[in-house]
Structure formats: structure tokens, C-alpha cells
Structure 1
Amino acid sequence: MGESLNPSPLARLRRAVRPDWSRTVAARRTAAGLLVVLAAAAALRPDPAGQRHDVIVALRDLSPGTPLTDADVGVESRLAATIPDGASRDIQNTFGATLAGPTRRGEVITDVRLLGSRLTEASAGPDARIVPLHLADDALVDLIRPGDVVDVLAAGSTQAGLDSPPEVIATAAIVALVSAESAGPAGASERVVLVVLPRHAANAVAGAALTRQITVTFH
């Protein structure tokens, strides 16, 4: 028998609570369509991992100690996921900066690769300073590399005709830069070793270097 033309209240309630087959199919098709639209939107949305940013990179192999020019560095677009922290992005601020270590062609220039407060803070804390040293033994300079850890010694002073032993005036200094080889007017070496030390130790070393011969020992 067909459905009653005058269904009872109970039958009406059942029909409202349990939709018929056609309503169920329509609802499923609508939900499927919404899922397709959402999937398409997700596929078209830019992937953060695929974003690119301009950074400063070395255009050729570079040696430490030379101010950077437009022949040394340039701007390249790199994937965001491959860019290191502290990457340099302003080419004008990079010109004239000094590298603290050798750099390969294509390497991204970061803040801790350049002489400055970022390098000193990363090496010896926020209160660190850079101290230039002229070593008594020129041959020793050839053995020192950026990143070496050294102790700084000052030659003993002469008192009453007797030489006192050398004094350790700083420990665990980080070598930031060894200047390129050059010769002074009389053929004397002008090479300088820059070391990073906490402020008090740096000031003591700088003061001793004014009147005493300086050398270092390696860790």
C-alpha cells in the first residue's frame, strides 16, 4: 500500500528525523563537492617552504681581512628553508664590511662572518671586545687561523737587571681574524691577529700590548 495521504504525527516525526534516500544522496554529493573545492584551494595556496628571499652571497672565494666590494658579493634569491639565521640582506650595509674567515663562492654571508658586535657576542658573550695583537714571533702568525682558541702571554718586565717569567694575561681568547701578509717600510711585518675576549680581559690585554711583547699558546 502507498503512503497515507494523511500521515499520523508519529510518521511525520520519523520522516523529519530520518531523511529519505534522495535527501541523503544529495547531502553526500554536496559534502563531496565541498571537499573537492577545499582540496583545490589548498593546492593553489603558496607553500611557505617554497618561498624565496634575497640574500647576500659571495661571488667568488674570499679571504678574510679585506673590505667587501661589489666584485666580492651580490644578491641572490634562495629558498627560505635553506637560508641560515643572521643572513645579510642589505647589500649597501655589506659593502666595506670585513670578513672574519675564508668564504667560498656561493656561500651566504651571515652576521657572524663579519667583524662586528654580532661576531664578538657569538664568540664570547654580549660584553665581549675585539683586541688587535702584534705577536713577537712573526712565524707564529702563519700558524694561526680564525676560530683558534689561544691563551695570551706578555713578556716579563725587567727589574733590577733580572727578567721575570712571561705572564698569562688572558685565557681562551677566540681568534677572529688574521690579517693578510704585508711588509712595512723597513721590511717589518705588519700582520695583526684579532682576538675576542670578555671586556675586562680585553682591556688588560690591550694595555699590556702597549709596553710588552705578546705571544700566544694554542689550546
Structure 2
Amino acid sequence: MLKFLPVIFSLLFFINTSQAQFRLGLGGELSSAKFGGIPPDSGSYESITGYGGNAIIEYKIVNDVYLSFQPGYHKKGTSIKFGDEENLINDTVITFNVSMNCFTLPLNLKVYNNDFYVGGGVILDIISTVNIKNEESSKEKDIKNYFLDVDLMADFNMGYEFKLGKPTLFIELRYIQGLININEETKFAEEDIYKANFKSSGVSFLAGIMFPL
């Protein structure tokens, strides 16, 4: 029996160590986002509110450094405003809302100092639907074929964790900047109001709960 003790202790050590390496969690997100880049002629981009939810899988690389993978769903977009309401001659303003539904795959590196952390990484969005709607009308138009299938963004974040025994609650603020132009330029005609340079941009507020394994 004694000869098996080293093996048993080794297995227990491996299990405890491996369990300490991973955390699982769930999070929710509210965002204020718009397109960056070059707006259409006589137009400007305005922010709209988005939302989403994520599963979270984190791996501890070394003490105080985690790799965080957060697959989920996100709704984002922008408003495109044409006209100038302060123009004394013609104050007509037409606003179009572009909404996008995406499966999102953020991958971040998080560095901790006690319960505070900062980090950054990349986000790959798989764009499933894109619709545009005039604020004066209830009709939506599907314009997915005018967009790429994916969006690639860089993100920078800071957050804080509140320990509740083993689980922890977290809040996080994230800045997002698009790295690619997501409109399908070859499908735009000169007269299209959608013709522009579309790059995602915005800030997000996240909150959730994490459980160590």
C-alpha cells in the first residue's frame, strides 16, 4: 500500500493544480457603438445601444495572468444621419439605423493586480444578419450581402472582481476598435447611401460571475 502513496499524492497534486488553472463563467454586455472610418457623403455616424451575452473560459498562464476566451452573441450597429438640423436653410434630417447580429469570439489577455485587472486582445465577430431601417418607417431592409461575413477588432479593457467565497463577480469596461473595413466594396454603386468605410468602434460595459474549477 505504501508504494502507491507517491502515485496517489502525485495524482492529487495534478488534479488540484489542473483545477486551479481554469475558471468558467457567464457575462452580460451593454455597448455604445457606431461605425468609424469614412461616413457617406453628407452623413455622419451616431452611436446606438447594443447588448449581448457570453460564456467565459479562462486559463491561468502564470500567477496574475489569464487567457480569457468569451464566445457569445452580440447585437451592434450604428445610426447614419444625413442633414443638419441646425441649418437655417434646410434643417431636414434623415436617420438610418443599421443593426447587426453577430456570433462573437473575443480572446483577451488579463493581467491582475490584486482584484483589479487590465488587458487587451482581439475579437472576431461572425456576422449573421445586417438590416437597415429609416427612423421614419417601420420597414427593414436586409443588406447582409453588402457586408463581409466577419469583423475583426482590437479591444482594451479594465475591470474589477468582487470575491464571494469561491465564485467572483466582475465588472469590466472595454474599448473596441475595428481593424478592417467590413462593407463589401465591390457590391456598392456610387449612388448607394450605404457606400462608406465601415469600421466598428465603441465602448462596452460587462458584468458577470466566474467559478474556479
Higher strand share: 2
TM-score, normalised to structure 2, is 0.27
TM-score, normalised to structure 1, is 0.27
**Greater Cα radius of gyration, structure 1 or 2:** 1
Higher helix share: 1
Greater relative CO (CA pairs within 8 A, separation 6+): 2
